[in-house]
């Protein structure tokens, strides 16, 4: 139990550092309640030994937010800007504790869900890397969730003196880049993704799930997500219920000519079994080493620093050649993306 208390506290600190004092206060309160043997100890008992990569703290935060979104926790909702609340952290934990007691069985079910954060802001890293790569592009995403980032070329990227992407887009990323950023345009001619538990963004349940995992006091992220839902209705993309290895084994079997095949993933590596990760690495390296056609891998994944903090690094690996280049650093939710000036 001590380990999970520490993980809740650490996640609370990360939430505060990343601009969500509300989620930080909720998880700090949950950690104290867990340590004291309160209702959170009952709720989290089956998850004491869950691996850190499964992030039970964020599953709890998502479950509470979903109760708010579904109007099942009206007292707690008063604190959530996502539904018009104040954002105040004062009194938020007692309200959350009462919401847990009133909805215990439902929260037990919510905690069995995997984290599904189809974070639209991560497209800032993807789109910039695609500009470096050039097109036309055949985009393959593993851990795609609802596939929203497969539409990255349809978002608006508002720079100081220009707008890249689609200036009329309902998804707007304002000043998302820092440093010697790439410019231009890219054409995506095919969009496919896979996920063991894909989200159907055309359904109410799918949209609730994705919205619940956005921190309830981060309104800009919520606005981007809702804009992406609208785009998804108009711009098709395929997301299949498949694991990463099975999906890529099929899709990389015969690379088409005349396009750049891009394999993309963001903050998904921790959720994939280590053996499958090794197999995916070997597959991509093997295909890249034998083909004369253009293959690129773009990743945005956390890198733990010596002090225990995390930085999210963007790498591009392009074949022929296969050299991996560190092109940017960013936040876990994307912007600001700080370009290094290196190019693949």
**pLDDT at residue 48, rounded to an integer:** 86
Packing angle, helices 204-212 and 56-69, rounded to 10:
130
Q: Give the residue extent of every domain in the chain.
A: 2-111, 120-339
Residue ranges in the chain whose pLDDT is less than 50: none
**pLDDT at residue 113, rounded to an integer:** 86
**pLDDT at residue 50, rounded to an integer:** 85
* Dist. CA 56–CA 77, nearest whole Å: 22
**pLDDT at residue 304, rounded to an integer:** 66
Query: Torsions phi, psi of 67, nearest 5?
Result: -55, -40
pLDDT in tens, 221-258: 999 999 999 999 899 999 999 999 999 999 999 999 99
**pLDDT at residue 270, rounded to an integer:** 86
**pLDDT at residue 120, rounded to an integer:** 96
**pLDDT at residue 1, rounded to an integer:** 59
Do 169 and 219 form a contact (C-beta atoms < 8 A)? no
DSSP 191-231: EEEEESS---TTSHHHHHHHHHTS-TT-HHHHHHHHHHHHH
Residue 168's alpha-carbon distances to 122, 140, 262, in angstroms, are 19, 25, 26
Peptide bond into 51 cis (omega under 30): no
**pLDDT at residue 28, rounded to an integer:** 97
């Amino acid at each position: 139990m001590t380990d999970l208390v520490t993980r809740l506290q650490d996640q609370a600190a990360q939430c505060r550092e990343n601009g969500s004092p509300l989620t930080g206060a909720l998880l700090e309160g949950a950690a104290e309640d867990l340590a004291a043997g309160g209702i959170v100890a009952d709720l989290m008992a089956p998850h004491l030994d869950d691996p850190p990569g499964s992030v039970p703290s964020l599953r709890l935060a998502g479950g509470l937010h979903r109760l708010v979104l579904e109007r099942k926790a009206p007292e707690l909702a008063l604190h959530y800007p996502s539904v018009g609340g104040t954002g105040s952290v004062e009194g938020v934990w007692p309200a959350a504790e009462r919401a847990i007691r009133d909805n215990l069985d439902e929260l037990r079910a919510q905690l069995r869900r995997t984290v599904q954060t189809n974070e639209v802001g991560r497209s800032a890293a993807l789109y910039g890397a695609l500009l470096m790569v050039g097109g036309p592009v055949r985009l393959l995403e593993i851990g795609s969730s609802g596939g929203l980032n497969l539409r990255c070329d349809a978002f608006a990227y508002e720079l100081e003196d220009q707008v890249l992407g689609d200036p009329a887009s309902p998804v707007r990323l304002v000043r998302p880049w820092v440093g010697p950023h790439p410019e231009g345009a890219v054409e995506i001619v095919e969009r496919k993704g896979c996920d063991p538990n894909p989200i159907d963004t055309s359904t109410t349940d799918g949209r609730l799930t994705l919205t619940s995992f956005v921190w309830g006091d981060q309104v800009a992220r919520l606005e981007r997500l809702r804009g992406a839902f609208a785009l998804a209705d108009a711009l098709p993309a395929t997301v299949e219920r498949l694991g990463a290895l099975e999906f890529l084994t099929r899709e990389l079997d015969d690379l088409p000519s005349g396009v750049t095949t891009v394999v993309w993933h963001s903050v998904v590596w921790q959720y994939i079994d280590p053996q499958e990760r090794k197999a995916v690495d070997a597959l991509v390296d093997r295909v890249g080493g034998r083909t004369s056609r253009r293959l690129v891998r773009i990743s945005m994944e956390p890198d733990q620093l010596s002090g225990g903090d995390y930085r999210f690094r963007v790498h591009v690996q392009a074949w022929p050649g296969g050299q991996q280049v560190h092109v940017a650093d960013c936040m876990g939710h994307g912007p600001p993306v700080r370009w290094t000036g290196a190019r693949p």
